[in-house]
């Protein structure tokens, strides 16, 4: 006994929708990642030894 055609169609439709959702999510993430500014760590300055002055 095999699955009825309607059940098979529903399963395929579900998989197709899931794949579309994943693809759309990936594309949105890729666009956001490309548009996000790269945070640049401080390029100047740093820690300097000091002696407490009275």
Partner 1 sequence: MSNPTEPQIGIVGTGVTSSRAASVLHTLGHTPRIESLGSASSLFDCDVVILAHGAPHDALASAFVAQGVAVVSTSDNLADVLALLDGQERAVARGVPVVVGAACLPGLSGLLVTHVSRAFESIDEVHTAVHGTGGPMCAVQHHDSLAGTSIGWHDGEWLQRPAGSGRELCWFPDPVGARDCYRFASAEPVLMQRAHPALQRITSRVSATRRDRLTARLPMLRKPHAEGLEGGLRVEVRGLRDGRRHVEIVGVAEKVATITGAVAAHSALALLKGTVMAGVHNLGEPTLPNADILDGITASGITLHQFIGR
Site size toward partner 1 (CB under 8 A) is: 11
Query: If you search the block for the tokens 């030894």, which residue do you land on?
Result: 49
Piece of 1-9, 10-18, 24-32, 38-46 that binds partner 1 (CB under 8 A): 38-46
Length of the chain: 54
45 is an interface residue for partner 1 by CB under 8 A: yes
Nearer to partner 1, 5 or 46 (CB): 46
33 exposed, middle or buried (CB, 10 Å; 0-12, 13-18, 19+)? exposed
Piece of 7-15, 22-30, 39-47 that binds partner 1 (CB under 8 A): 39-47
């Amino acid at each position: 006994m095999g699955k009825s055609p309607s059940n098979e169609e529903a399963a395929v439709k579900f998989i197709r929708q899931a794949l579309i959702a994943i693809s759309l999510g990936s594309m949105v993430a890729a666009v956001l990642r490309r548009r996000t500014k790269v945070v640049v760590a401080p390029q100047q300055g740093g820690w300097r030894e000091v002696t407490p002055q009275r």
